[in-house]
């Protein structure tokens, strides 16, 4: 049997390291392209449904991919170390012969926890189309105040990222197995084991979930664009119809029975307003239905991300995105975990925070509360609270108070929690269900074997 060549290992390690660095840079670039803040809309029910689905799915895309980046870096070092061991053994067995080189390990990515998007889509601008006041008293569905163009742009970015990731992951697999051939895998069990881990890394990097999210964004953005244009056009038509009727009313003053004629015209105006309102409701309902379909499809993104991430457990030496509670931590350890959770959610735990005061009923009557949300974004009118805990019940008063302050001041409320965190308070769960609180799950903690 041919002896293992250290260069095989160095070559594969280099490819894995380069891929890790490249994917990290591409995730950073993708985040910069996602101009989604307050793009989902605040309209019922599609706005909150889409923001919850999009923000969670986007987080999942970044999370599983960046975990793949971390795993690729670890694997690169392990493979390189195997090459060094082969070289060391060869050099020691033949001290007077040609010496195998022992290069330094490749650096790979520097990230030590999962990456996440920096912007939240939750919220809208409460915009209304021209002439909305004509039907405002008759509609049952709110105008969809989403930014469909930015939703579609996000879809394009995710689709392009997914396509390129699939290509790059395939190239990585082909390049590595061109060195670690089937014959070499059969001859060296450790190489076969490495190839299995390479497959797991490529699975996490392949970008399937990014492509899926891209399709969902395009569907929602396209439908919203189509329906809103139809709605705007119909309102313009209604505007001119009513102008025509108003002219007729002026002329009717000169005619016998003019008052009766004007009353008849007023009834026609009201009839048209009601009919156009019904038509607008159908358009908005069509957007809601598309959002529902896209959100249901996006549920598969979460499942795929969890499955792909768990195949990285051996390399990461922990269970990614685990859902079991973490026990037996001291108070100091819990406080440190809270700070770490905020960092992973993109918030500086030592940064300046703002205390707010609100009157809130948490179950025993209205009471004044002072709370300090982890982040108040006044530009995008978003409140964010991070809880890296097993459950949220101990923090219910704080969460309810922040949600009430957000509601009273026209802000959205996002609760960022770990994958293990249980929403075990009925009132908070009700607010999640009706869209007043948005929950986004992220890997805020590590669970080690």
Regarding whether 39 and 158 lie in a shared domain, the answer is yes
Report the number of distinct structural domains present in the chain. 2
pLDDT of residue 97: 79
pLDDT of residue 448: 59
Residue among 274, 168, 289, 183 at smallest CA distance from 226: 289
Q: Which residue has the tokens 């041919």?
A: 2
CB atoms within 10 A of CB 127: 12
Mean pLDDT of the chain, nearest integer: 96
Question: Please, which residues bridge with residue 442 across strands?
Answer: 418
Regarding whether 181 and 35 lie in a shared domain, the answer is yes
Which domain range does residue 50 map to? 6-126+142-223
Q: Is residue 417 part of a domain?
A: yes
* Buried residues in 2-13 as b, exposed as e (16+ CB within 10 A): eebbbebbbbbb
Share above pLDDT 70 across residues of the chain, in percent, rounded to a whole number: 99
Query: Using an 8 Å Cβ cutoff, are 49 and 292 in contact?
Result: yes
Confidence tier at 2 by pLDDT (50, 70, 90): low
Q: Is residue 288 part of a domain?
A: no
pLDDT of residue 94: 84
Q: Is residue 258 part of a domain?
A: no
Average pLDDT for 79-94: 92
Regarding whether 336 and 219 lie in a shared domain, the answer is no
Q: Give the DSSP letter of residue 92.
A: H
Q: Is residue 192 part of a domain?
A: yes
Among 90-94, 134-138, 445-449, the minimum mean pLDDT is found in: 445-449
Q: What is the pLDDT of residues 307-353, one digit of tens each?
A: 999 999 999 999 999 999 999 999 999 999 999 999 999 999 999 99
Q: Is residue 282 part of a domain?
A: no
Taking each helix axis from N to C terminus, what angle separates 46-93 and 208-252, rounded to the nearest 10 degrees? Answer: 160
**How far apart are alpha carbons 64 and 343 in whole angstroms?**
18
pLDDT of residue 260: 85
Instruction: Give the end of a domain, one of 192, 223, 254.
Output: 223
pLDDT higher than 90, residue 148 = yes
Q: What is the pLDDT of residues 370-382, one digit of tens each?
A: 999 999 999 999 9
Q: Which residue has the tokens 């004007």?
A: 262
Phi (first) and psi of residue 72, to 5 degrees: -65, -40
Q: How many helices (H) and strands (E) does the chain have?
A: 11, 6
Q: Give the DSSP letter of residue 38.
A: T
Q: Is residue 133 part of a domain?
A: no
Q: What is the pLDDT of residues 417-449, one digit of tens each?
A: 999 999 999 999 999 999 999 999 999 999 654
pLDDT higher than 50, residue 221 = yes
Query: Using an 8 Å Cβ cutoff, are 162 and 62 in contact?
Result: no
pLDDT of residue 63: 98
**DSSP 3-state of 128:** coil
Regarding whether 338 and 218 lie in a shared domain, the answer is no
Q: Is residue 366 part of a domain?
A: yes
CB atoms within 10 A of CB 422: 13
Better pLDDT: 120 or 363 = 120
pLDDT of residue 449: 44
pLDDT higher than 80, residue 252 = no
Record the pTM: 0.94
Q: Is residue 82 part of a domain?
A: yes
pLDDT higher than 70, residue 296 = yes
pLDDT higher than 60, residue 26 = yes
**DSSP 3-state of 168:** helix
Spatial neighbors of 295 by CB under 8 A, at least 6 apart, are: 49, 50, 52, 53, 216
Q: What angle do CA 20, 23, 27 make, to 5 degrees?
A: 140
Q: Which burial class, exposed, middle or buried, applies to 446 when counting CB atoms under 10 A from its CB (0-12, 13-18, 19+)?
A: middle
Average pLDDT for 62-80: 98
pLDDT of residue 144: 98
Confidence tier at 251 by pLDDT (50, 70, 90): confident
Instruction: Report the run of H or E that residue 252 belongs to, with start and end.
Output: helix 208-252
Q: Which burial class, exposed, middle or buried, applies to 274 when counting CB atoms under 10 A from its CB (0-12, 13-18, 19+)?
A: middle
pLDDT higher than 50, residue 225 = yes
Instruction: Give the end of a domain, one of 162, 196, 223.
Output: 223
pLDDT of residue 259: 80
Instruction: Give the end of a domain, one of 223, 258, 284.
Output: 223
Better pLDDT: 311 or 90 = 311
Regarding whether 346 and 212 lie in a shared domain, the answer is no
């Amino acid at each position: 049997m041919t002896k293992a060549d250290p260069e095989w290992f160095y070559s594969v390690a280099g490819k894995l390291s380069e891929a890790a660095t490249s994917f990290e840079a591409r995730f950073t670039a993708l985040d910069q392209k996602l101009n989604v803040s307050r793009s989902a809309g605040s309209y019922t029910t599609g706005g909150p449904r889409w923001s919850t689905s999009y923000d969670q799915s986007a987080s999942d895309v970044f999370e599983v991919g960046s975990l793949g980046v971390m795993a690729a870096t670890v694997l690169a070092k392990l493979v390189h170390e195997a090459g060094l061991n082969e070289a060391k053994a060869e050099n020691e067995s033949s001290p007077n012969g040609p010496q195998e080189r022992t290069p330094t390990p490749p650096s790979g990515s520097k990230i030590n926890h999962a990456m996440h998007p920096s912007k939240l889509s939750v919220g809208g601008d409460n915009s209304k189309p021209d002439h909305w006041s004509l039907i405002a008293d008759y509609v049952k569905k709110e105008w969809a105040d989403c930014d469909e163009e930015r939703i579609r742009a996000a879809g394009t970015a995710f689709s392009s990222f997914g396509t390129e990731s699939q290509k790059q992951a395939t190239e990585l697999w082909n390049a590595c197995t061109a060195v670690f051939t089937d014959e070499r895998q059969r001859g060296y069990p450790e190489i076969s084991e490495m190839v299995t881990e390479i497959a797991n890394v490529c699975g996490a990097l392949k970008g399937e979930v990014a492509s899926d999210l891209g399709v969902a964004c395009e569907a929602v953005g396209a439908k919203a664009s189509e329906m809103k244009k139809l709605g705007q056009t119909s309102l313009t038509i209604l505007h001119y119809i009513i102008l025509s009727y108003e002219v007729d009313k002026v002329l009717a003053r000169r005619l016998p029975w003019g008052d009766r004629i004007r009353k008849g015209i007023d009834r026609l105006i009201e009839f048209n307003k009601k009919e156009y309102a019904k038509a607008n409701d159908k358009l908005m309902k069509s957007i809601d239905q598309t959002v529902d379909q896209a959100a249901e499809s996006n549920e598969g993104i979460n499942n795929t991300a969890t499955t792909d991430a768990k195949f990285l457990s051996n390399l990461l030496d922990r269970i990614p995105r685990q859902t079991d509670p973490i026990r037996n931590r001291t108070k100091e350890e819990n406080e440190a975990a809270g700070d770490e959770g905020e960092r992973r959610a993109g918030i500086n735990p030592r940064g300046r925070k703002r205390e707010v005061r609100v009157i809130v009923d948490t179950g025993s009557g209205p009471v004044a509360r002072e709370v300090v949300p982890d982040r108040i974004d006044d530009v995008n009118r978003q409140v964010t609270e991070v809880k890296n805990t097993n459950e949220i019940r101990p923090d219910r008063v704080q969460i309810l108070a922040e949600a009430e302050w957000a509601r009273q001041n026209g802000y959205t409320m996002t609760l960022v929690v770990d994958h293990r965190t249980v929403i075990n308070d009925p009132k908070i769960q009700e607010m999640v269900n009706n869209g007043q609180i948005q929950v986004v799950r992220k890997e805020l903690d590590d669970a080690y074997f």
